[in-house]
Amino acid sequence: MTPPGKTWDAALTDAVPSGGGWLDHGFHIDVHSHADGQLVYAASGALATSTVRGTWVAPANRATWTPPGFEHSHRFYGRTDVRLLVVPAALCDALVPHPSVFAVSPLLREAVLALTDRPESRPGAHARLLEVVIDELVETPELSLHLPEPHDPRLRAVTDLLHADPGRTSTLTELGREAGASERTLSRLFDSELAMSFHRWRTVLRVQHAVIHLTNGVSVTDTAITCGWSNPSSFIDAFSSVVGQTPGRYQAGLHG
């Protein structure tokens, strides 16, 4: 694996091997694609996988899945114990044909760690363990912390404003004045292009940033304020609904 602090050259990523290693905060892997599928799991820390379809963020209890042929990039947050697991193209039909994020069950975690931690003990052992990983992914519901990106220039103007300042509290009407579109038009575009409401899109954006802040050791209260919630209680409710656990529990799990 490339040493922390350096960008992974996209020319080297056509056939990235399975493996693991520690990466520094902010480590970035440039846009690339693989002939095989790839599962990326941060045993500690967090990662973001970006494609033309948007950005998927995986806290330490989730893994990102990228099917063969999808151009994508990765960025890692916090000091990250990252595990890369290649899934041969011949086995990928069992899995979803689009990038996604999956919850990591205890069995899936141990199987991924074993495949990326130690050499094969007996011929065929890794292949059998990889079948366990695939079976677990097939049985696990998608839990994508996914933020789709728009194509309409008016909608993109609004999302760009929020990307620049996730904690911004402007209403859709106020953002529309800057983007040159009415609230009704923007609301319709959020539904038709992104398949989610403005409120939901902004909530997911804020939760993505909250994951990064919590991973970097920022307190729950400070994270809530920075990311735009009026009080910690509303932040805890929103974070729990998206991530599946409270921000405090998530942060404690990073140290555990």
Q: For residue range 39-79, what is the model confidence (pLDDT) as tens digits?
A: 999 888 888 898 888 888 888 778 999 999 999 999 998 88
Q: Helices (DSSP H) in the chain: which residue ranges?
A: 106-117, 125-139, 153-164, 172-179, 183-194, 198-215, 220-226, 232-243, 247-255
- Determine how many CB atoms are found less than 10 A away from the CB of residue 153: 11
The two structure tokens encoding residue 31: 């846009």
pLDDT at residue 15 tops 60:
no
Q: Which domains does the chain have, with CATH numbers?
A: 10-146 (2.60.120.810), 148-255 (1.10.10.60)
Give 103-153 pLDDT, tens digit per residue.
888 999 999 999 988 777 788 888 899 999 999 998 876 666 788 889 999
| pLDDT for residue 95 | 92
User: Which phi-psi region, left, alpha or beta, contains residue 23 (left: φ > 0; alpha: ψ -120 to 50)?
Assistant: beta
Give Cβ neighbours of residue 241 (< 8 Å, ≥ 6 apart): none
CA torsion sign, 88 to 94 to 98 to 99? negative
pLDDT of residue 12: 33
